[in-house]
Structure 1
Amino acid sequence: MAILGNIIKGVIHAKNLTATHFNAVNEQRTVLLELLSNAAHTEFGKHYNFEEIIASVDPEKDFRQKVPYFDYHQLTETWWHKVHEGKPDITWPGKPDYFALSSGTTGNTSKRIPVTDAMVKAIRNAGIQQVFALRNFDLPANFFEKEILMLGSSTDLDEHNSALEGEISGISASNIPFWFQDYYKPGKEIARIDNWDERVQRIAEKAPDWDVGALSGIPSWMELMLQKVIDYHGLNHIHEIWPNLQVYTSGGVAFGPYEKSFNALLGHPITIIDTYLASEGFIAFQQRPETDAMKLVMDNGIYFEFVPFRPDYINSDGSLAQAAPSLTISEVEMGQDYVLIISTVSGAWRYLIGDTIEFTNIEKAEIKITGRTKFFLNTVGSQLSVNKLNDAVQHLEEKFDIQIPEYTLCANRIENNFYHCWYLGTDRKIDEMELSNALDQFLKDANKNYRVARSKALEGVKVKTISTNIFHDWNAHNKKKGGQVKMERVMGEDKFEAWEDFVKTQMDR
């Protein structure tokens, strides 16, 4: 009998009985006032007169009128460069304990995002909220006695100006509370290994010693790790070595494109739970099984604003036009894409995180990520979000019975005509013209703006299929294997030219 598991499950369910009624509007106002109060005497708070905003009748309105939007580069040029130099009390009291390094999907140069002790605590608190939400998934008691394999970046952090720096998953793993250490795998020693291939090799070697019940990490790298364990031990699927694996907590990117290839590594279906942990904070998590939408964490150190996603609100460099209106959680509507803006306990203020979201349930503050502001494909008016592109790829998987875990594309000019040029990662040989036609037809049926563009300036679709490994090699070549690194779904023409040169080099080998 799973005695400990029953105790833990009982505590989780008891928490549900004592939970107060959720009121996102009140929670968000409280968070905003706490943020403003804590930062009132920083250089930033004095510059924008936070004390006056706190005292106003409508602090939300006053805040958005007085404080401009910032993206990473704008905030760094004006304020965070002082934080990087080790100066205190710039955008948050004191100095940050960590810097989260993030190249994400946007380039080779790492961003250095401040991570304060308050943010570390907020991330931990959000994680605890997610654990309590497991009561909704009807998991057996013995699940709560199994180990959790968290596949992130190395916890071997570097020191810079008396702060430690690394990717956010490594920072989070290095701050795992003592009571969780016995559950956490791969453990401190392996987690410190910086080399991705060496770390995964050690995981494969130790795999038989662990009773893994849950996995957590970015889907692309999780698949590679599972495949390594399977190959190393000559297995048919991962459940032959981890029979009690029941949950996968996905994050970083939409799970949809990976669903088919991920499930192929399993012996039976498991529960998939989506999370939204960015370098800037723990933003949302899936709290119930009847939807794959995620609940925004509204009471935990992040204040949210939502800008309607319209092309005229986005500058050519991907930043926000200062005239773009922002809405609070009380003002949003269903069926609308919004640019997500956050202010946090790490001293990010009205910060463009780069994602677009859509509300699926406003009362429960549940959202889906619909794309990236820089990856929105609007050349010649096609207006395709990453969410729409993911749907198209999943359609191809179903229609042709193939797996396409990775893809990228570009609106490319060829002989004065625009084409959407796709690269699909698959190990099956499928006629590329058939894929092009099916992809084109699906997008015409699913998106009226695309259909109009195809009748005018958009000439057509070109598809090339390549090995999925080339996508992984591209990430390793440009950034680093593992951790928070994700593949660009939509590229600009210059980046796409470099990508095509890289693909040619790989295929000529």
Structure 2
Amino acid sequence: MKLDLVNSFLSWRMKKRYHQLELFMKYPHEVQAEVLQNLLGTAAQTEWGKRYDFKSIGSNEEFRDRIPLHRYEDIEPEVQRIRDGADNVMWPGDIRWFAKSSGTTNAKSKFLPVSNEHIEDCHFKGGKDLLSIYCNLYPETTIFSGMNLRLGGSTFVDNEEINSYYGDVSAIIIENLPFWVEMRSTPSNKISLMQEWEAKIEAMSTTSMREDVTSLAGVPSWMMVLLERVLDISGKKHIIDVWPNLELYMHGGVSFAPYRSQFKELIGKDINYLETYNASEGFFGIQDQKESEDMLLMLDYGIYYEFIPMDQFDGTNSKTIGLEEVKLNTNYAVVISTNAGLWRYLIGDTIRFSSISPYRFRISGRTKHFINVFGEELIIENAESALTATCNEMGARIHEYTAAPIFMQRKESGAHQWLIEFEQEPNSLEEFAQLLDQKLCGLNSDYEAKRHKGMALKPLEVISARKGLFYDWLKQKGKLGGQNKVPRLSNSREHIEELLALQT
């Protein structure tokens, strides 16, 4: 009875927030204009506020004209000063949390400032809105009668003298959760934030099996590792035999398409899935419809958005447009200004709007993670769609993959080489490669043109990776767990050559 009351009360609280979501859906441009003015007013007395005279900026156009676009390389010296203890640099007050970006496996990491306002008004708000949307979609939910199993990263001391920390953004959120959320989460913070990944998986599996888990949250590739271990320890066939009241999986970080069928098989029944776009730089989107995987752009989280059409993209020399100017089915690079002190910052992701009333979108790729060696302009969205369709037709399942170019050799055309770790291999790898090639041609006219008569591109090549190859590669780089992920597409052969060296 007590758990029923808790579930009813929390469900009611979450549904109330939905009316505020409807407000920014109805007045998106006004909300965004207000966000920008609040950001500028709050940061007016910081070093950056004085440098660019924030208090005199009166319009969105003036903001774009006065402040240049930035990549991480441009702001790294300022971030380092903040990490060393400088205050009021890009955002007022002292910042003692830094999200270590794991969007790539490059040796050089990014440390993105995370202010208290950013934690409260962006990430926490996003978590509450995710549950609010879920309760609105599924009014009869009993999700709050049980526990949420969250799978995140770890935090580390950054500067002991000033008591600052860095880590995966998911770990920063866990570290700062209010007590009432912690009470409904499993495992404890002590286990959730363990730094040794394999020991953490073991402890999480053992501890969480004793709980009534009703929801899961985490990156799909790592959540699969955890669920497989739970089944190993419990001796059960399906996750639903361990947690019979499981009803929701909240996921993000990588495309869910290659994992959907595997999760259904692991869990043993259909549950509900909601996708989020919660990155190191901010919480940007939430899936808000049952029938569509498009995500709602969250406009009142202290983030001001600008966009660059990818056919006009020229790095920090690009011209941006505002939300009111975006068009459907066009790839845009995302530029943000945030309540953590990022100003006109290129996050490196691209999105494509599927609706403008309200603004809904899908992640289409990365400004850097694509293959365009031969003018084929292959983006992640194409790759994921083609792989999903090919697997469905051939009864295959994929665990991880990466792709890179095979460069032209004098009179010999180039090609794409795909290294795929299968959960279930196709009967014929050759037929799989042929079908994947056909699907890519159907999805991408530039790829199809370069494949015409093999003049620029020969048929793609698929190599079946041994079991555990990508895991071993990430482990070798110290990148296990959290939001670390395998780069799907690359214009160079650096990653794929390292993986092939570990293949045997």
- Shorter-chain TM range is over 0.9
Instruction: Indicate the RMSD between aligned Cα atoms, in angstroms.
Output: 1.8
Q: Which residue is 1:331 aligned to?
A: 325
Task: Kindly provide the amino acid, as one letter, of the partner of residue 391 in structure 1.
Answer: S
TM alignment of 1:444-455, pairs within 5 A: 444-455=441-452
Maintained 8 Å contact 1:136/1:289: no
How many Å apart are 1:276 and its aligned residue?
0.8
- Alpha-carbon distance between aligned partners in 2 of 1:32 and 1:429, rounded to the nearest angstrom: 50
Question: 1:121-175 CA distances to partner (integer Å, 9 max, x unpaired)?
Answer: 1211221122211123215342221100110012565545431211111100011
Equivalent residue, structure 1, for 2:7: 5
Q: Deviations over 1:26-63 (max 9, x none)?
A: 1111110011111111111111121221xx3xx10001
Counterpart contact for 1:105–1:486, Cα < 8 Å? yes
How far the C-alpha of 1:428 sits from its partner, in A, is 3.7
1:25 to 2:26 alignment:
no
1:139 and 1:196 map into 2 onto residues whose CA distance is 36
| CA shift in 2, pair 1:14/1:69, >3 Å | closer
Query: Is the counterpart of residue 247 in structure 1 residue 251 in structure 2?
Result: no
The answer for the alignment partner of 1:83 in structure 2 is: 82
What do residues 315-358 of structure 1 show as CA deviations (whole Å, max 9, x unaligned)? Answer: xxxxx141x22111111110101000000111101101110001
Matched AA of 2:440: L
- Residues 389-412 of structure 1 show CA distances to partners (whole Å, capped at 9, x for unaligned) of 001110121111011131100122
Q: Partners of 1:19 and 1:450 in 2: how far apart? A: 40
- Describe how 1:488-499 pairs up with structure 2 within 5 A: 488-496=487-495, 499=496
Q: Which amino acid aligns with 1:101?
A: K
The Cα offsets for residues 416-437 of structure 1, whole Å up to 9 and x where unpaired, read as: 4311111111044443221221
Partner Cα separation in structure 2 for residue 484 and residue 389 of structure 1? 20
Native 8 Å contact 2:371 2:405 kept in 1: yes
Q: In the superposition, relative to structure 1, how do residues 249 and 415 fare at CA in structure 2: closer, same or farther (>3 Å)?
A: same
Q: Which of 338, 344, 350 is equivalent to 1:344? A: 338
User: What secondary structure, in the 3-state scheme, does the structure 1 residue paired with 2:374 have?
Assistant: helix
Matches within 5 A, 1:300-449: 300-310=301-311, 313-314=313-314, 320-322=315-317, 324-413=318-407, 415-416=409-410, 417-430=413-426, 431-449=428-446
Instruction: Assess if the C-alpha contact under 8 Å between 2:406 and 2:414 holds in 1.
Output: yes
Q: Residue type of the partner of 1:116? A: S
Deviation at 1:366, TM superposition (A): 1.2
Does structure 1 retain, via aligned residues, the 8 Å contact 2:434–2:459?
no
3-state SS, counterpart of residue 323 of structure 2: coil
- Structure 1 residue 98: Cα displacement: 0.5
The 10-residue stretch of structure 1 (381-390 or 156-165) with the greater mean CA deviation from structure 2: 156-165
CA offset at residue 104 of structure 1? 2.1
Paired residue type of 1:132: S
Correspondence list, 1:17-416, <5 A: 21-22=23-24, 23-53=27-57, 56=58, 59-77=59-77, 79-122=78-121, 123-138=123-138, 140-155=140-155, 157-160=157-160, 161-310=162-311, 313-314=313-314, 320-322=315-317, 324-413=318-407, 415-416=409-410
Return the alpha-carbon distance in structure 1 between the equivalents of residues 205 and 19 of structure 2. Answer: 41
Q: Distance in 2 between matches of 1:390 and 1:236?
A: 29
| Structure 1 stretch displaced more, 12-21 or 379-388 | 12-21
Q: Structure 1 CA distance, aligned partners of 2:179 and 2:320?
A: 41
Shift of 1:6: 2.2
* Cα shift at 1:475: 1.4
Cα distance in 1 for residues equivalent to 2:181 and 2:236: 29
Residues 207-248 of structure 1, C-alpha deviations (whole Å, 9 max, x = no match): 331111110011100000000101111111111101111100
Instruction: Find the residue that maps to 2:470 and give its secondary structure.
Output: helix
Q: Tell me if structure 2 keeps the 8 A contact 1:359–1:367.
A: yes
SS in 2 for 1:21: helix
In 1, are the aligned partners of 2:186 and 2:208 still within 8 Å (CA)?
A: no
TM-score (structure 2 length as normaliser): 0.94
Gaps of 5+ in 2: none
CA distance in 1, matches of 2:232, 2:332: 43
Give 3-state SS (helix, strand or coil) of 1:460's partner.
Answer: coil
Contact 1:32 1:303 in 2 (8 A): yes
How far did residue 94 of structure 1 move? 2.0
Aligned residues: 493
User: What is aligned with 1:472?
Assistant: 471
Q: 1:248 to 1:90 in 2, by over 3 A?
A: same
Residues 371 and 490 of structure 2 are in contact (CA less than 8 Å); yes or no, is this contact kept in structure 1? no
Secondary structure in 2 matching 1:63: helix
Cα deviation, residue 279, structure 1: 0.8
The answer to whether the 8 A contact 2:247-2:272 is kept is yes
Q: Distance in 2 between matches of 1:84 and 1:480?
A: 22
CA distance in 2, matches of 1:450, 1:273: 32
% identical aligned pairs:
32
**Secondary structure of the structure 1 residue equivalent to 2:460:** strand
* Mapped partners of 1:130, 1:435: distance in 2: 37
**Could you tell me which amino acid in structure 2 is paired with residue 240 of structure 1?**
D
Distance, in Å, in 1 between the alignment partners of 2:480 and 2:326 is 38
Separation of aligned partners in 2, 1:179 and 1:395: 43
2:477 is the alignment partner of 1:458: no
Q: CA offsets per residue over residues 38-89 of structure 1, 9 Å max, x none?
A: 1111111111121221xx3xx1000111111101111214x32322322111
Offset, 1:487 = 0.7
